[in-house]
Structure 1
């Protein structure tokens, strides 16, 4: 993604879930004549709308959005694939003189797109053995092993995300180095890149997450999940891992009450927000803007230059 003085910048909006990234992305896209590129790992899936807080078409202000609704729930997706898709979309927009505005809650995906990040290779034999072990002993057991081998990686990977746990253990075994050593370095692929962070107090964020999760269930998340199960959600190696969807599947299976699902989804989402912040708090390149600052758009535009 080459950058020149006449090439539009790459603008990325980061911050925890429910902090207000979406509205800022729309404001900036309007101000810059830009288009939005989704960097949320789950919003690429068709039909996963309520549980991912996907912005309805009618609320996108006529601004084109890229990398939304591109996969079926059965389709797997890796960070490496997403990196390729996003960089292609960004390159295409900039060739047309359009500013890409990246927004989404997947911190690793955003870093993989913006920064220099070459993915370690894979070994089918090692992967197959670890996946068989995952099926036998479960993700928590493998996550405990990862915590011993690489506490930094374990802190950033959900206990329930068996696919990523297996990948981390595979890389450790293949390379002999911690998985975290293979994460992106803080060096932009293109220097014409600006990261803007949405800052919000933890207490306010926790309350917004609680309200959002309950609203998702009130808006019909269970119906959405029931429909997606008919489309193969349970067999999806990536989509089925989404927070809220796991809990909704348990409700539909009679394994959990709705209130328990709301509580567990709220807790899991808050934990996810903490992990997101862990990715960004040590990145000095980010310009942080208060979520409730009435001048945040002007300050963002100033930072973009």
Structure 2
């Protein structure tokens, strides 16, 4: 059963399209959003509730505690096993999300460079000395593409990129596979909107998250160790609320920086995905995207 990947920037409606496609073809969904792997991180990640999933099986959701570190390597192994198990059952695997490295690792069988504890420790010390923003700027000087694909608040991945650059003498992306035929002959569908319209959608999405209780969700997760989570605590929305609470606020001032950070992240997603010539792009405003996605799926080979 040829998989379908529905990818693209945040806020474009990938989950809704995936549900419609899954109902049409008898599919099961494999999450490719890094932060939706975390139990309890629901509102800020726009995770579908159980009721909203319409009885369609979803995989790689709620598989990590907020204190655990999410890694691309773990995801790649687990999600690949899910895809193959779904296909073996005679269902269609539908990979859905916007986490760039997660998608590429899964569809292009990324082989990850080795690590060196001493080099890693050196860059972690540098991170502690200069801070995440300054270290991100240093990464941009030696590997602009890596810096463009990594959030400037994601210290762990910035450290990893710098480690790989030092160990290999090559850009971080050089360790990535060349774009060729996607694994399992997957049909890759991209969903996007006009920039102005998507910005409006992102603003509404952010407003809804705060109205639906994002601050209370963060408060609850802090009691479960969110602050100690290497990756979870840096998620968009969560990091901004934590910063506001730590400064003595009530969390509501995090709304604007969350929106700005999300919009910035969308720009990086677009830059990354637009390099991939295999993606069949659909306009989020179109009314026939289910049919268009299925047509592309049936004709990709």
TM range (shorter): over 0.9
Match of 2:57 in 1: 64
Match of 2:152 in 1: 159
The Cα offsets for residues 89-129 of structure 1, whole Å up to 9 and x where unpaired, read as 11111111111101012011111100131111100111112
Match of 2:241 in 1: 248
* Residue of structure 1 aligned with 2:137, choices 113, 136, 144: 144
Q: CA RMSD in A?
A: 1.2
Using a 3 Å threshold, how does the CA distance of structure 1 residues 257 and 232 change in structure 2: closer, same or farther? closer
Q: How far does residue 136 in structure 1 lie from its aligned partner after superposition?
A: 2.1
The Cα offsets for residues 161-181 of structure 1, whole Å up to 9 and x where unpaired, read as 100100000000100111121
Q: How far does residue 130 in structure 1 lie from its aligned partner after superposition?
A: 1.1
Does 2:207 match 1:214? yes
Does 2:267 match 1:277? no
* Aligned equivalents of 2:248, 2:241: Cα separation in 1: 10
Does 2:23 match 1:30? yes
Q: How far does residue 188 in structure 1 lie from its aligned partner after superposition?
A: 3.8
SS at match of 2:188: strand
Q: How does 1:179-198 map to 2 (within 5 A)?
A: 179-188=172-181, 190-198=183-191
Does structure 2 retain, via aligned residues, the 8 Å contact 1:116–1:185?
no
- 177-186 vs 82-91, which moves further: 177-186
Does 2:111 match 1:132? no
* Residue of structure 2 aligned with 1:123, choices 116, 124, 127: 116
Matched residue count: 298
Does structure 2 retain, via aligned residues, the 8 Å contact 1:116–1:188?
no
The Cα offsets for residues 199-233 of structure 1, whole Å up to 9 and x where unpaired, read as 21000000110111111111111110001001000
* Aligned equivalents of 2:202, 2:177: Cα separation in 1: 28
Q: How far does residue 256 in structure 1 lie from its aligned partner after superposition?
A: 5.0
SS at match of 1:144: helix
Match of 1:171 in 2: 164
Unaligned runs of 5+ in 1: 1-7
Match of 1:3 in 2: none
* Aligned equivalents of 1:200, 1:189: Cα separation in 2: 24
Q: How far does residue 187 in structure 1 lie from its aligned partner after superposition?
A: 2.3
Q: How far does residue 283 in structure 1 lie from its aligned partner after superposition?
A: 1.2
Unaligned runs of 5+ in 2: none
Q: How far does residue 191 in structure 1 lie from its aligned partner after superposition?
A: 4.7
Please, what TM-score do these two structures have when normalized by structure 1?
0.95
Does structure 2 retain, via aligned residues, the 8 Å contact 1:147–1:154?
yes
Please, what TM-score do these two structures have when normalized by structure 2?
0.96
